[in-house]
Homo-oligomer: A and B are copies of this chain.
Amino acid sequence: MGEAARKAAEVLREASAERKHAALDAAADAVAQSMPKILEANEQDLQFGRDKGLSDAMTDRLRLDKDRIGAIAEGLRTVGGQPDPIGAVIAEWDRPNGLRIQRVRTPIGVLGVIYESRPNVTADAGALALKSGNAVILRGGSESLHSSAAIHACMVAGLREAGLPEDAIQLVPTRDRAAVSAMLQAQGLIDVIIPRGGKGLVGLVQREARVPVFAHLEGICHVYVDGEAAPEMARRIVVNAKTRRTGICGAAECVLIDEAYGDAEALIAALVAAGVEVRADGDLAKLPGTVTAGADDFGHEFLDMVIAARRVDGVEGAIEHIRRYGSQHTEAIVTANDATAKRFFQGLDSAILLHNASTQFADGGEFGMGAEIGIATGKLHARGPVGAEQLTSFKYLVTGDGTLRP
């Protein structure tokens, strides 16, 4: 599969924007037309999951219905309609000797995407890879094998219709775990691995991969409420950051409240009223509705209606806490003082820092990237939401006029 992907990548690298767009539109049509087939395949997977005793949450992720399949088709069209990143001139300059230097966007080559049992990732990841001119090898969760295969068939139909190589988007056709290991070791065949899933999967990939990885292990996101925060704004941001969706990596897991903030009681009360279990320490633990935090509650990714809460000594105290307990994913400050926000932005090195906005904005769609293949917290190449543009590399094109180096 790796070698087939390499060959497809050579063709994709030069494929026109129109052809890639056409393939995604055709794939969207195929998904819409194949709804009965996809539902049938999904039913097989659900049966397999029931036999295996899959949890309700996992079953829900696995389940497809007409709306979800419609959303998959729509997602393909959205990515298809976005600007094509390949060939764009990122920078250009002239040298005193007359050389003109251009830095031009190119595909990376071959991506490997390893994910759990969300069949829609088959379409999302395939679409972003194609848009960015990369071939991709997809390895979905074993519970979603049939659903993913049915969606994958639609992607291949789209490629075929646009005259692009079918091997541009390949799906590992087996539940065998050895396939994952092979992907992680495939230096020279796969250029980068993108794991999508829980900490177990991402940790495994980060430990074992010999190929570079774009990922985040955890999203331990903090909201710091400064002494100069407007109370109503603070309450609304904290409640939104925690409760809008608790299972996503951008959900807040800890609220840090400035000693100088006078409205802590109402802030905690708003969380409690929203149904959040507040695990607090110090004087906050005396507030109604809170429970006393254990040592493990700070730096913990709950992904649930639970939040850790602590008093800190101003923005410096918040920075110190986040440096110690954070995962360099996303943190927010609420303050009316721009200088304090600037200090927060400067003192921390998370992929995303927000001022007076909810951590739930940590998302490629919300950043205007149209879609994302995941969020990365590493420092190299990709960081934050990874969209089509971040799935590219570049080359230098230099034009002279018989220019020699003295």
Contacts and interface: CB of A to CB of B under 8 A. Distances in A.
Interface residues of A, number: 55
Nearest to A234: B402
Contacts of A106: 349
A183 to B, nearest CB: 17
Interface in A295-349: 341, 345-347, 349
A395 B383 contact: yes
Interface in A91-148: 93, 95, 99, 101, 106, 108-109
A281 B148 CA distance: 52
A352 interface: yes
A346 B397 CA distance: 10
A170 interface: no
Interface stretch (A57-65, A151-159, A195-203, A356-364): A356-364
B349 A379 contact: no
A347 B349 CA distance: 39
A290 interface: no
Contacts of A393: 379-380, 383
A381 B384 contact: no
A397 B106 CA distance: 27
A191 B380 contact: yes
A236 interface: yes
A361 B405 contact: yes
A360 B212 contact: no
Contact of A357 (B357, B379, B400): B400
Given A191-B379, A379-B191, A13 B349 contact: yes
Contacts of A42: none
Interface string A374-401: 0000011101100000000111111111
A404 B99 contact: no
A233 interface: yes
A395 B384 contact: yes
B381 A380 contact: yes
Interface in A55-107: 93, 95, 99, 101, 106
Nearest to A393: B379
Contacts of A368: 93, 95, 101
B383 A394 contact: yes
B353 A398 contact: yes
Contacts of A400: 354-358, 361
A402 B233 contact: yes
19 contacts: A13-B349, A99-B366, A101-B368, A191-B379, A191-B380, A212-B380, A230-B402, A233-B402, A236-B402, A352-B396, A354-B400, A356-B400, A356-B403, A358-B404, A360-B404, A366-B405, A383-B393, A383-B395, A384-B396
